[in-house]
Amino acid sequence: MSKRRKSQRAADATPKREKVRDVFVPRPFEGLADEPEWIALRELVPAASAPLRLTPELVEEYGDRPVTLATVLPMAAPAMTKPDGRVLIGLQRHQQSGDVSRDLADALLSALRTEPGGQVDVPPLPGPGPRLQDVLVDGPLEISMHDGFEFWLDPGAADDPNVQASLERANAAIYPTVKLAAARAAYWCQVTEKAHVRWVLPEDEDAALDALSRLAAAGSLRLGDDTRFAGMFRAHGRLVPVWDLPEDTPAAEWEAPVAEFAKRYAEAVAEREPLDAAGRRARQGLLGRQLTLR
């Protein structure tokens, strides 16, 4: 038998791995009650956590193991298990398919299948399967903001010099961030001599853009004196307006201005008339100041 025929027979006998299609899902958190907060924790917030509840079917299969959503885990790990059975999943991770919800669900299921305290093995590109919407009991996220990543650690773990050094490096990358009570998924932050308010709007992009355009045409897009509407970006199918603020004004003092703007915005969203000429010009201007985050 020729070498060519032998090679062909060997290739035919080798199991072929099914190619995983990287299909981009523009709104991975669609259908979750707190979609804007999922987006905010994914894109805006450096250090925060929130408890998650497994569906009754998963509790029956894996037990009632506590699960915590974390913005970031050590080394940007997708998931961790603790010796006491707790599970942590990381929302901000490097490797991912085109569906963030599927990635996170797969990380969670991989952690549940892992013995407590064991190393979690998560495939970077999972195939079709359950998504967050299938594995969690849906509801508002109970978010805890953190000044550092000490919540990663078990008691006494920071006594290890290597762990302490790693923790210090991670904490040094955190910029001050405050969750505002004036609007859901609105956050104040301070980065490199600048302060901002960033708000993930809950409405569909077109409705949100029309509302912002009405406010821009009316000259009521700012949060107050010495503030500037810096623009907006698109993240996971939602708009996120950004305001530049005086850096020396504390976060708490922006609660009232944000609440007042949220009222103006809600009234603009409720408008059903088409945009007038000024509104259409404002819309074009806003589109020119828009970035997209996948």
Is pLDDT at 46 greater than 90 in this prediction? yes
Is pLDDT at 13 greater than 50 in this prediction? no
Q: What is the CA radius of gyration of the chain?
A: 23
Phi and psi torsions of 237, nearest 5°: 85, 10
Task: Please name each of the domains of the chain with its CATH number.
Answer: 35-172 (no CATH), 178-293 (3.30.1460)
Question: At residue 205, what is the residue type?
Answer: E
- Give the model's pLDDT for residue 162: 75
Q: Picking from 121-125, 128-132, 247-251, 268-272, which range would have the lowest pLDDT averaged per residue?
A: 121-125
- Give the model's pLDDT for residue 18: 39
Residue 89's H or E segment, with its range, is strand 87-90
DSSP characters over 218-233: TT--SSSTT-EEEEEE
pLDDT digits (tens, 9 = 90+) for 133-150: 999 999 999 999 999 998
pLDDT digits (tens, 9 = 90+) for 47-77: 999 999 999 999 999 999 999 999 999 888 8
Count of H-run helices and E-run strands, the chain? 9, 11
- Give the model's pLDDT for residue 292: 65
3-state secondary structure of 71: coil
Q: Contact 68/50 with Cβ under 8 angstroms?
A: yes
